[in-house]
Amino acid sequence: MTLSTSSSPPGPPVIDAVTIASLGATLALLLLAYLAARALLPARASNKDRATFVWLAFDALTHFVLEGSWLWLSTFGRTVQSASGPFATLWQEYTFADARWGRADETVVSIEALTVLAAGPLCVWILYQIVRQDAARHYWIVVLCTAEIYGGAMTFFPEWFTGSSNLNTSHWMYTWVYLAFFNGLWIVIPLALMLDSYWAISGSLRAVQEAEQKHKRK
């Protein structure tokens, strides 16, 4: 599987007002997530729980605000390329790297519909459980992370298997920032959270099992 350059790539990218605004919008969501953690988490919350909260709050905001806006602009006959407004402009910038997002590709629309309508609310539910220090969150974290890793794979695997004609890797901004970094975050971080929750769940189950075995030996 190789990432190939689109057959008709756009002109050289320029770090202009649209690029800065797009990256700034992402940072603004991250700042909101951090402020939410400061306001909602109890003082006794661990650093790991705080980091998890910030990521999941950022995750939820990204799903609702950024991906939600794209979904609205890409359903019922609408497309990003034919739309106008700040969110349309933001997503038109991303289409320089992946043309599918400009024309409402059916596979991407299907994945994003599940992401916005299911993964977003699930993030909020897990945030509520973190605030309450509810250990049951680890099960839902595994569910969420599995879905997000699968969604990332299904977004790009079909494209890679068919020659990557919609991906433009002619410039480092497209390849390493828009495609690799922003999409890679939703693979690496969910994988780390999934492993952490696996250790929490398996450790608890083994402790219960050990206690039951000790009780039986008495």
How does pLDDT run across 179-217, given as a tens digit for each residue? 999 999 999 999 999 999 999 999 999 998 888 887 777
- Retrieve residue 213's tokens: 């075995």
- Retrieve residue 100's tokens: 């599918």
- Retrieve residue 158's tokens: 């079909």
**Cβ-based burial of 77 (10 A; exposed 0-12, middle 13-18, buried ≥19):** exposed
Q: How far is CA 119 from the centre of its chain?
A: 9
**pTM to 2 decimal places:** 0.89
pLDDT confidence bin for 218, thresholds 50/70/90: low
Are 58 and 30 in contact by the 8 Å Cβ rule? The answer is yes
- Is the pLDDT reported for residue 3 higher than 80? no
Q: How many CB atoms lie within 10 A of CB 161?
A: 9
Residue 8: predicted pLDDT: 45
Cβ contacts of 77-83, under 8 Å, gap ≥ 24: 78/104, 79/103, 79/104, 80/104
Q: Tens of pLDDT along 13-64?
A: 567 788 898 899 999 999 999 999 999 999 899 999 999 999 999 999 999 9
